Chain A
């Protein structure tokens, strides 16, 4: 069971290339966000709303100073082109990224998500794919790709530096086909939930922006970003749909973990720290799904619950794996 080092190195190289490609894509999304057509439309409609609201109210500084001003059509076309280029780069990056993951598995002849580096890599590519999937259904959200690329690139950077582990065969505790099932479900749902968290943050920004522009208060970063974001209802809906999609997968992942735990440790549930935090995150996301259907909790409160769930999930990955010792330290028998 030796590791093919040539392939392993190629996988590492592809990983770096994927980060570079995503970064280029992010630059293009940013450019489109700044000059793009969508951005202009959002800004204009917002400014019109301002005029209406401001009619009887106190005079407030014009928030989007130059938004309704004329913008040359060449600039608009450039924004459009950059946006398309960004999507092409994202797809290319995802393909390279998938190649890196596949080669890593081939090199060691095993499922390529046996440690934190590999898990982050898989969750990252799933987040990208989830965004591309959302894009497929709602092409108008393209220009906010920058907000999805940013956390993914950060995650991959962390993975490539702090969490990096050399390709190696699996320890006995991980030698089970449940690794493929349990960890795939976990990484998949967590990748999708990253996307959901991004849309939730954007929703909160946009809502705050609306509140500030409708009443008093000063616009400051990051609320200023709200000027060019889609309507809060759209953002809220995308955030909800992604959680609704990921939650059953997450639940399945936890159950698959319980089945594996029964085979490996002699009990399906033992309140190991990892299990406890998976439970906590699950309960919080369940609360989110309920809150969204409850009067008085809809909107902002529900959005914060979503972020709380994401916080618990992130804590479970970073803090529980690195700081708190438990059975999931990938040690098993030793």
Chain B
């Protein structure tokens, strides 16, 4: 019973590490990736997943349950690649042992009949076997590993082999793949990523609480590693440059940053310009310029006569014209129901839209318009966290609307007035940390090198049998028989062999034509 179980396990293992299984798993891996590109994915775009779930009801919920909205984090996806890598490891270990043995071993002795090999030929030589063997070794050169053996009757054989690099490269490539998987997993553990919107003139420090969105790896989530100590003290200036046709040509964020020194004090302030494709790299963290937008500034006269100044981040709703939406929330005295809420849009280059309303024609700022809908009442009646980009209108009522140019003021009932003072740009900065990516790059380069070796190098075997003139016939020539075998990737081995054969023939000392017939052509 026990023996039978062992046999089944062994059988299953052998099946798993077979090439067929690996092929099936490769196909499964490719197939399993497809929904990850066709369905919205939570890690990439949670809003799209929610929208999909809203419109697809039960079908959507079913897909959600089987992990279709996070394919690359799903258990079944992990199962496929883990099985594939177990199968790979199971196949690699014996092959590495085998290859090590092959490298250590001398090339095999020459077979009896060289003319039975896929490629063979021969010629006569005026040299003694030993002298020709020397000449042949010189011709073959260092690319071949050559072993010379003596057979009875003064016969000398050469066994030559080349192309060990093929299997070395092959193994190197696959080991690199395994290493990459391990590094990626380790990277996941130790990485973190935060992103934050910074208005021009503001700054932030690298700490989880500073971020609008914080995605820690396991170690950062457990607090076992902390973000590198530095602060982006200030976004001094964000510049967007456009071509005449409205296409962007350059985005750059000029920042001042400082590292926090080990003694807890701030280091010197350093100026740096972050552009797309050129992040700020410090302390193993990278700071990226991801997005940008507008933050309009307003002055609001509240119903009680007090004046509040505010600037709010507006989010672009149209990526080509940067028409943006957002909200201002001005708290009045607690519980008085005299809060003022403003929802609105910002059109950098205003134009008349198809519906007759104001829209934007270009992302460049040219006499912008702030369109506002003004509300009065209680802003956040239940005290729950609230989006800063829109209003909870449960206890608000609209008291007016207006389209303002910079400097214009809209007067509303109850003494409320809103002035559009201007705008500042904001940028979205992302801080990323992954300590393994440098090693991963080394591994990836190793993989490519191994791959090139395994596909470009060809494994070849060659044997020469050099037979001296029979005793008593000193005038007969030495006869050289050559045989060749392509152990991988036959390619044009026939031509290749013919080339080697002719070079070997050229190395032989010429003999009188009358004797040539004795050679085995």
List residues of chain A with CB under 8 Å of any chain B CB.
Answer: 1, 137, 168-169, 171-173, 175-176, 178, 237, 241, 244-245, 247-248, 251-252, 255, 258-260, 262-268, 270-273, 276-277, 279-280, 283-284, 286-287, 289-291, 293-294, 296-297, 312, 320, 324, 331-334
B514 interfacial by beta-carbon distance below 8 Å: no
In the complex, chain B residues whose CB is within 8 Å of the CB of A277 = 37
Q: How long is the Cα–Cα vector from A287 to B20 in the complex, in angstroms?
A: 10
Apart from A266-B430, A280-B37, A284-B30, what 8 extra A-B contacts exist at CB < 8 Å?
A175-B277, A248-B448, A248-B451, A264-B277, A271-B36, A271-B72, A277-B37, A283-B33
In the complex, chain B residues whose CB is within 8 Å of the CB of A287 = 23, 26-27, 30
Residue in A241, A276, A297 whose CB lies within 8 Å of B33 = A276
In the complex, chain B residues whose CB is within 8 Å of the CB of A259 = 441
Closest Cβ–Cβ distance, residue A207 to chain B (whole Å): 18
B251 touches A279 (CB 8 A): no
Given A251-B451, A263-B277, A332-B276, verify A283-B41 contact (CB < 8 Å).
no
B248 touches A334 (CB 8 A): yes
> 10 closest pairs, A vs B, by CB?
A276-B37, A273-B37, A287-B26, A266-B432, A172-B276, A176-B277, A283-B30, A244-B455, A266-B288, A294-B19
A270 touches B277 (CB 8 A): no
B437 touches A262 (CB 8 A): yes
Q: Which of B19, B289, B430 has the most CB of A within 10 A?
A: B19
Q: How long is the Cα–Cα vector from A276 to B30 in the complex, in angstroms?
A: 9
Residue in A252, A266, A284, A291 whose CB lies within 8 Å of B286 = A266
Query: Can you sample 13 A-B contacts with CB below 8 Å?
Result: A173-B276, A173-B277, A176-B277, A244-B456, A258-B444, A259-B441, A266-B286, A268-B437, A271-B72, A284-B26, A284-B30, A331-B319, A334-B363
In the complex, chain A residues whose CB is within 8 Å of the CB of B245 = 168
In the complex, chain A residues whose CB is within 8 Å of the CB of B259 = none
In the complex, chain B residues whose CB is within 8 Å of the CB of A334 = 248, 319-320, 363
B279 touches A263 (CB 8 A): yes
Residue in A137, A176, A247 whose CB lies within 8 Å of B451 = A247
Closest Cβ–Cβ distance, residue A230 to chain B (whole Å): 14
B3 interfacial by beta-carbon distance below 8 Å: no
Given A169-B247, A241-B491, A290-B26, verify A333-B276 contact (CB < 8 Å).
yes
Closest Cβ–Cβ distance, residue A330 to chain B (whole Å): 11
In the complex, chain A residues whose CB is within 8 Å of the CB of B44 = 270-272
B33 touches A279 (CB 8 A): yes
In the complex, chain B residues whose CB is within 8 Å of the CB of A279 = 30, 33
Q: Which of A1, A245, A262 has the most CB of B within 10 A?
A: A262
In the complex, chain B residues whose CB is within 8 Å of the CB of A264 = 276-277, 288
A interface footprint on B377-416 (CB within 8 Å = 1, 0 otherwise): 0000000000000000000000000000000000000000
A280 touches B448 (CB 8 A): no
B278 interfacial by beta-carbon distance below 8 Å: yes
Chain A residue nearest to B427 (CB atoms) is A333
A255 touches B455 (CB 8 A): no
A271 touches B26 (CB 8 A): no
A333 touches B455 (CB 8 A): no
Closest Cβ–Cβ distance, residue A240 to chain B (whole Å): 8
A172 touches B26 (CB 8 A): no
In the complex, chain B residues whose CB is within 8 Å of the CB of A172 = 248-251, 275-277
Given A247-B455, A251-B448, A312-B30, verify A169-B243 contact (CB < 8 Å).
yes
In the complex, chain B residues whose CB is within 8 Å of the CB of A137 = 492
Closest Cβ–Cβ distance, residue B272 to chain A (whole Å): 15
Q: How long is the Cα–Cα vector from A277 to B27 in the complex, in angstroms?
A: 13
In the complex, chain A residues whose CB is within 8 Å of the CB of B277 = 172-173, 175-176, 178, 260, 263-264
B479 interfacial by beta-carbon distance below 8 Å: no
Residue in B36, B279, B489 whose CB lies within 8 Å of A266 = B279
In the complex, chain B residues whose CB is within 8 Å of the CB of A252 = 448
B36 touches A296 (CB 8 A): no
B301 interfacial by beta-carbon distance below 8 Å: no
B447 interfacial by beta-carbon distance below 8 Å: yes
Given A169-B247, A172-B248, A270-B44, verify A290-B19 contact (CB < 8 Å).
yes
B508 interfacial by beta-carbon distance below 8 Å: no
In the complex, chain B residues whose CB is within 8 Å of the CB of A267 = 193, 432, 434
Total number of residue pairs linking A and B with CB closer than 8 Å: 134
B469 interfacial by beta-carbon distance below 8 Å: no
Closest Cβ–Cβ distance, residue A275 to chain B (whole Å): 9
Given A169-B247, A172-B249, A266-B432, verify A294-B451 contact (CB < 8 Å).
no
Chain A residue nearest to B447 (CB atoms) is A251
A175 touches B276 (CB 8 A): yes
A interface footprint on B424-468 (CB within 8 Å = 1, 0 otherwise): 000000101010010011001101100110011000000000000
Residue in B27, B29, B251, B492 whose CB lies within 8 Å of A333 = B251
CB under 8 Å from chain A, chain B span 20-67 = 20, 22-23, 26-27, 29-30, 33-34, 36-38, 41, 43-44
In the complex, chain A residues whose CB is within 8 Å of the CB of B286 = 266
In the complex, chain A residues whose CB is within 8 Å of the CB of B455 = 244-245, 247-248, 289
Closest Cβ–Cβ distance, residue B316 to chain A (whole Å): 9
Q: Which of A172, A175, A263, A293 has the most CB of B within 10 A?
A: A172
B248 touches A333 (CB 8 A): yes
In the complex, chain A residues whose CB is within 8 Å of the CB of B38 = 324
B186 interfacial by beta-carbon distance below 8 Å: no
Q: How long is the Cα–Cα vector from A171 to B363 in the complex, in angstroms?
A: 14
Closest Cβ–Cβ distance, residue B287 to chain A (whole Å): 9
CB under 8 Å from chain A, chain B span 277-312 = 277-279, 286, 288-292
B20 touches A296 (CB 8 A): yes
Closest Cβ–Cβ distance, residue A324 to chain B (whole Å): 7
Q: How long is the Cα–Cα vector from A80 to B20 in the complex, in angstroms?
A: 46
In the complex, chain A residues whose CB is within 8 Å of the CB of B249 = 1, 169, 171-172
A283 touches B276 (CB 8 A): no
B37 touches A171 (CB 8 A): no
Q: How long is the Cα–Cα vector from A316 to B362 in the complex, in angstroms?
A: 31
Given A172-B277, A255-B448, A297-B23, verify A266-B193 contact (CB < 8 Å).
yes
Chain A residue nearest to B440 (CB atoms) is A268
Q: How long is the Cα–Cα vector from A296 to B18 in the complex, in angstroms?
A: 13
Chain A residue nearest to B84 (CB atoms) is A283
Q: How long is the Cα–Cα vector from A245 to B36 in the complex, in angstroms?
A: 29
Residue in A1, A260, A276 whose CB lies within 8 Å of B36 = A276
Closest Cβ–Cβ distance, residue A160 to chain B (whole Å): 22
In the complex, chain B residues whose CB is within 8 Å of the CB of A290 = 19, 22-23, 26
Q: Which of B33, B286, B432, B440 has the most CB of A within 10 A?
A: B33
In the complex, chain A residues whose CB is within 8 Å of the CB of B289 = 333
In the complex, chain B residues whose CB is within 8 Å of the CB of A270 = 44
Q: How long is the Cα–Cα vector from A255 to B22 in the complex, in angstroms?
A: 23
Given A255-B444, A268-B440, verify A171-B247 contact (CB < 8 Å).
yes
Chain A residue nearest to B24 (CB atoms) is A287
Q: How long is the Cα–Cα vector from A279 to B518 in the complex, in angstroms?
A: 61
Q: How long is the Cα–Cα vector from A280 to B432 in the complex, in angstroms?
A: 27
Closest Cβ–Cβ distance, residue B327 to chain A (whole Å): 23
B451 touches A266 (CB 8 A): no
A265 touches B288 (CB 8 A): yes
Closest Cβ–Cβ distance, residue B241 to chain A (whole Å): 9
Q: How long is the Cα–Cα vector from A241 to B491 in the complex, in angstroms?
A: 8
A280 touches B20 (CB 8 A): no
Q: How long is the Cα–Cα vector from A276 to B38 in the complex, in angstroms?
A: 10
Closest Cβ–Cβ distance, residue A100 to chain B (whole Å): 23
Chain B residue nearest to A331 (CB atoms) is B319
CB under 8 Å from chain A, chain B span 117-132 = none
